Amino acid sequence: MSTAPSPLRSEPRIIIVMGVSSSGKSTVGAALGRALHAPFLDGDQYHPPENVEKMRSGTPLTDEDRWPWLEALTAALKEAAEKKGVAVGACSALRRAYRDFITERADEPVLFVYLEGSKEVIGERMSRRSHEYMPRSLLDSQFATLEVPDPQTEHAMAVPVTDSVDRIVRTVTGALDHLKTFKRWQ
């Protein structure tokens, strides 16, 4: 799979906020969607019930579990971007193969915004929140699966999870010159 952009489009209309559980994907994604006047789709809503039950029981997902989920989320993001011109999603997208799959299925460039944080910082966040089906016991498997995006070979940017949500949104929108018409403050 290649992350090469479609020849018809060179700038991303689909932005995915990615990272391990408790990195803030949903919070940042929703704020980014508001700033861009874009629909926000939370990847958690696209998991089939079998995946949810697996995670709830503390069992990490396999690649076979993830492909249908990634397919459904990508289709929804592509449809939203077609309707609104831009769409924002939240998805762990931990491995390069998942990001390549999303980009290939979208058939256009996708910007991955990686919320970068240490296991200690994320573990502390995870201990302060209650997630419907993601127990703290899966944190190690999340970090074991994570392949940090390489901005030299992927359409990706990293932002520290320790920055405020507002600062992360400003950093990301500042890098999206092609979406200026969507920015609330311009």
| Confidence band, pLDDT 50/70/90 cuts, at residue 92 | very high
Domains of the chain: 14-175 (3.40.50.300)
Q: Percent of the chain having pLDDT more than 90?
A: 64
- Please provide the DSSP assignment of 59-103 as one string: PPPPHHHHHHHHHHHHHHHHHHHHHHS-EEEE----SHHHHHHHH
Considering all CA atoms of the chain, what is the largest pairwise distance in Å, rounded to the nearest integer? Answer: 46
- Decide: 1 and 100 in contact? Cβ < 8 Å: yes
- Decide: 104 and 1 in contact? Cβ < 8 Å: yes
Mean predicted lDDT score pLDDT of the chain: 86
For 125-143, the pLDDT digits (tens) are 877 766 555 556 678 888 9
Cα distance between residue 5 and residue 10, in whole Å: 6
> Helix or strand or coil: residue 156?
strand
Task: Tell me what the mean pLDDT of segment 66-80 comes to.
Answer: 96
Model pLDDT, residue 128: 76
Residue keyed to tokens 């200026």: 180
- Decide: 15 and 86 in contact? Cβ < 8 Å: yes
Model pLDDT, residue 5: 39
Task: Tell me what the mean pLDDT of segment 50-73 comes to.
Answer: 89
Q: Quick check: pTM over 0.75?
A: yes
What tokens does 157 get?
Answer: 């940017």
> Helix or strand or coil: residue 62?
coil
Q: Among 134-138, 158-162, 173-177, where is mean pLDDT lowest?
A: 134-138
Which phi and psi (to 5°) does residue 159 adopt? -135, 140
| Residue 29 pLDDT greater than 50, yes or no | yes
Model pLDDT, residue 2: 39
Task: Tell me what the mean pLDDT of segment 13-19 comes to.
Answer: 96
